[in-house]
Amino acid sequence: MLISETSHDVATIAEGKAGSMRIFIFHPTIPNHPNARASAALAHIPVRAVTGPVARFAKQIAGHGYIVAAPSSYHEFTGPEPLTYDVPGTDAGNAYKVQKKVAAYDEDAVLSVNFLLGLKTCNGRVGASGMCLGGHLAFRCAFDTRVAASVCYFATDLHSKTLGEGDDSLARAADIRGELIMIFGKNDSHVPPTGRDVIRQTLHEKGVLFSLYEVAWAQHAFIRDELSKGRYDPAISKICFEMLMELFERTLKTDLGDRVGGKQKIEDIC
């Protein structure tokens, strides 16, 4: 499917400070059908903002018929341009990540969802995804009841509660009403096995509808196809993207109606 690329600036007021956030839009286009309506998705950024790999990830989703918005989350500190894949760029991104208040991240997500739902081409169904920091933000995005599905790639700082001041993400897991996919590499040095166990156990205890996958041999950032320091795994990335598509197709392109009833009773048969 063909796509168009634009951007839109929205006003922000988190912490009482007026600002502006740029949202990068990747929109599917069908010739001769300007009024076609599609589901939407947020593509949350890693610590270096909307880099080449993030843009290609967003385009890939958009090419399957979804309106994708990628907000530039570091607008309080710098422009919308991506940070570089080097030590200064990494250090700057990690510094901004913890300096930014969690309430400001949440405002970014709400504003982005508002923008998507305000498009005449959006059918009213929204999902979210992201990698690294963006994986954590996609998790928090799921607190918004308008978000029906979230796919979180190697979400950092979730187990350690170190996103920034006010990080209550796991504590609020019961607020998630949609379906969740958590994806990690077995060799992820940023989210160790004990951290992944904490996430899994908490989601079980909070009654979240989720899947959690740990991919053998995969490391942190295994879907990053640029300057990945030997970690990029295209075969595994393809499989994970198919899981994202299955969830989005089932929850965003199908009108499921309101969820009814509690936990499904499974008959013990063979």
pLDDT-based confidence at residue 85 (cuts at 50, 70, 90): confident
Indicate if 8 belongs to the active site.
Answer: no
Tokens of 261: 């009833």
Top-confidence residue, 265 or 161: 161
Least confident of 25-34, 40-49, 144-153, 239-248: 40-49
pLDDT of amino acid 228: 84
188 noted as active-site residue:
yes
Give residue-wise pLDDT tens across range 127-169.
999 999 999 999 999 999 999 999 999 999 999 999 988 899 9
The pLDDT assigned to 169 comes to 98
Q: How far is 24 from 12, CA to CA, in rounded Å? A: 16
- Please tell me the distance from the alpha carbon of residue 143 to that of residue 140, in angstroms, as a whole number: 6
Within 10 Å of residue 16's Cβ, how many Cβ atoms?
5
Checking if the pLDDT of 61 tops 80, the result is yes
Give the pLDDT confidence score for residue 39 in this predicted structure.
Answer: 97
Least Cα distance to 213 among 133, 141, 151 occurs for: 151
Catalytic residue (choose from 141, 220, 233, 240): 220
pLDDT in tens, 177-198: 999 999 999 999 999 999 999 9
Round the average pLDDT of the chain to a whole number and report it.
93
CA 232, CA 172: separation in Å to the nearest integer? Answer: 32
pLDDT at 257 over 90: no
Helix ranges, 77-192 (H): 87-99, 102-117, 133-141
pLDDT at residue 204 in the model: 97
Under the banding of pLDDT at 50, 70 and 90, the label for residue 48 is low
From CA 100, how far away is CA 106, in angstroms rounded?
A: 11
Average pLDDT over residues 214-227: 93
Which is catalytic among the residues 122, 132, 141, 240?
Answer: 132
Mean pLDDT value of segment 33-42 = 93
Cβ–Cβ < 8 Å for 70, 24: yes
Cβ atoms of 167 and 159 closer than 8 Å: no
Cα separation, 185 vs 192, whole angstroms: 9
- For residues 98-120, average pLDDT: 95
Which DSSP string do the residues of 13-61 spell out, in sequence order? -GGG--EEEEEEEEEEE-TT-TT--EEEEEEE--TT-S-HHHHHHHHHH
Q: Is the pTM of this model over 0.85?
A: yes
Report, as an integer, the average pLDDT of 223-250.
Answer: 94
Q: Which residue from 212, 211, 217, 245 is spatially nearest to 232, judged by alpha carbons?
A: 217
Detail the DSSP E strand segments found in 45-194: 67-71, 122-131, 147-153, 179-185
